[in-house]
């Protein structure tokens, strides 16, 4: 059985801009269960099952607050390595 991506949003870094919600191809209309929700002023992951691991959210997060990895979910752990943003993708 394929393991689900482990999506973590480090809330101490997140500035709640909502870019990940808007840019995720699995969020919004056309999906039954969006990956992200920004309801209540916080970004939360609603459904890891919907993630296609495109890494758009990781690349465009202005705060480098999102980490996605393949493997078993250990939601309580803070990852030791933060993602680097590709310089040619900074907007």
Q: How many beta carbons lie within 10 A of that of residue 42, not counting itself?
A: 11
In whole angstroms, how close is the CB of 76 to ligand SF4 at the nearest point?
18
- Nearest approach in angstroms of CB 54 to ligand SF4 is 4
Give whichever of 5 and 74 is closer to ligand SF4, judged by the CB atom.
5
- Spell out, one character per residue from 23 to 52, where the chain touches ligand SF4: x when CB under 6 A holds, - when not: -xxx--------x-------x-------xx
Binding test (CB under 6 A) with ligand SF4, winner from 17, 37, 47, 83: 17
- Using rule CB under 6 A, residue 20 touches ligand SF4: yes
Three-class SS of the chain: CCCCEEEEECCCCCCCCCHHHHHCCCCCCCCCCCCEECHHHCCEECCHHHCCCCCHHHHHCCCCCEEEEECCCCCCCCCCCCCCCCHHHCC
């Amino acid at each position: 059985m394929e393991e689900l991506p482990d999506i973590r949003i480090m809330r101490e870094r997140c500035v709640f801009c909502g870019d990940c919600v808007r840019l995720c191809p699995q969020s919004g209309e056309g999906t039954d269960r969006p990956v992200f929700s920004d309801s209540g002023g916080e970004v939360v992951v609603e459904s890891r099952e919907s993630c296609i691991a495109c890494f758009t959210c990781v690349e465009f997060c202005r705060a480098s607050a999102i980490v996605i990895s393949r493997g078993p979910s250990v939601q309580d752990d803070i990852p030791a390595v933060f993602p680097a943003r590709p310089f040619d993708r900074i907007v």
